Amino acid sequence: MSRSLLFLSFAFSITLFGFFLCQYSPPPQHQILNLWRTEDLALYNGTYDDESPILLSVLGSVFDVTNGRSHYGPGGNYHHFVGKDASRAFASGNFTGDGLTDSLHGLSSLEVKSVVDWRDFYSRRYIYAGKPTMYLKGVEAKAAIGAQLLEKQRKEEAKLPDCNSRWSQQEGAEKPLEIALTGKMRRRCACFKDEELAEPGLELYQDCDYLSKVCRVG
């Protein structure tokens, strides 16, 4: 008799804050080889006058985002990012108080990679206006580990069919489950064969019978 077991699982979810993706034409690149001090960068937040550039820093790389003044200037949705390096917020989503810091301490490799991705986004779309420090090498090394973990995740998910797989006499039964993998969590349903059910971190779907052939979930 065939059985269908419905389980919960979790997988990576890297949230890149899509609401920052404003449609700007890439500006001509120029390099101002400045090493910005925190107090100097704070003067370029768009609140002092309408003539000064608006600057934003990610991982020590400073970008001129003046072309996006309606978004980054006073009253704009992303004004909290300018005049400072708030790299951590690009991964944490904490856009207030202590969340607006350049410290990446305690972030996972995947989270650091997401910050590097944002740095690359700004480098493609805005004028580069500052020189990164040696600290960036360590950050990029950790981001490379995050990229490796994401590739591993993709390979693991490719092995596991989605929950809409069905049992047939020729192929036998496959169990829709989800597995716990490292990194940030989101729910994901996948199918396992009998011999794979010993995987750690499995949990039955709520209100689904262990031996049921079909289980409807909300």
Provide the pLDDT for residue 181: 43
Give the Cα separation of 8 and 15 in Å (integer). Answer: 21
Percent of the chain with pLDDT over 90: 28
What pLDDT shows up at residue 182? Answer: 42
Task: Please give the torsion angle defined by the CA atoms of residues 138, 91, 28 and 76, in that order, rounded to the nearest 10 degrees.
Answer: -140
Task: Check: CB of residue 26 under 8 Å from CB of residue 125.
Answer: yes
Whether residue 6 has pLDDT greater than 80: no
Q: Which CATH class is domain 18-153?
A: alpha beta
Q: Hey, what are 16's tokens?
A: 């890149």
**What residues contact 158, with CB distance under 8 A and at least 6 apart?**
none
Q: How confident is the model at residue 39 (pLDDT cuts 50, 70, 90)?
A: confident
Res. 172: pLDDT tops 60: no
How much is the pLDDT for 23?
37
Contacts of 71 (CB under 8 A, 6+ apart): 22, 65, 77, 78
Look at 99 and 30; give whichever has higher pLDDT.
99
- pLDDT band of residue 138 (cuts 50, 70, 90) is low
pLDDT(170) > 50: no
The more confidently predicted of residues 144 and 25 is 144
- Among the ranges 100-114, 137-151, 171-185, 196-210, which has the highest mean pLDDT value? 100-114
- Quick one: what percent of the chain has pLDDT higher than 70? 45
Residue 3 contacts residue 214 (beta carbons within 8 Å):
no
- Tell me the pLDDT tens digit for each residue of 56-89: 999 888 999 999 999 999 999 999 999 999 999 9
pLDDT tens sequence across 101-115: 998 888 888 898 899
Quote the mean pLDDT of the chain: 69
Amino acid of residue 9: S
Listed residue (191, 196, 218) closest to 207, CA to CA: 218
Task: Evaluate if pTM is beyond 0.75.
Answer: no
pLDDT at residue 72, as a whole number: 96
Cβ–Cβ under 8 Å, residues 91 and 112:
yes
The answer to whether 98 and 1 are in contact (CB under 8 A) is: no
Structure-block tokens of residue 156: 């693991």
Q: For residue 162, is pLDDT > 80?
A: no
CB within 8 A of 172, min separation 6: which ones?
193
Lowest mean pLDDT among 89-103, 138-152, 164-178, 192-206: 164-178
Residue 197 has pLDDT above 50, yes or no: yes
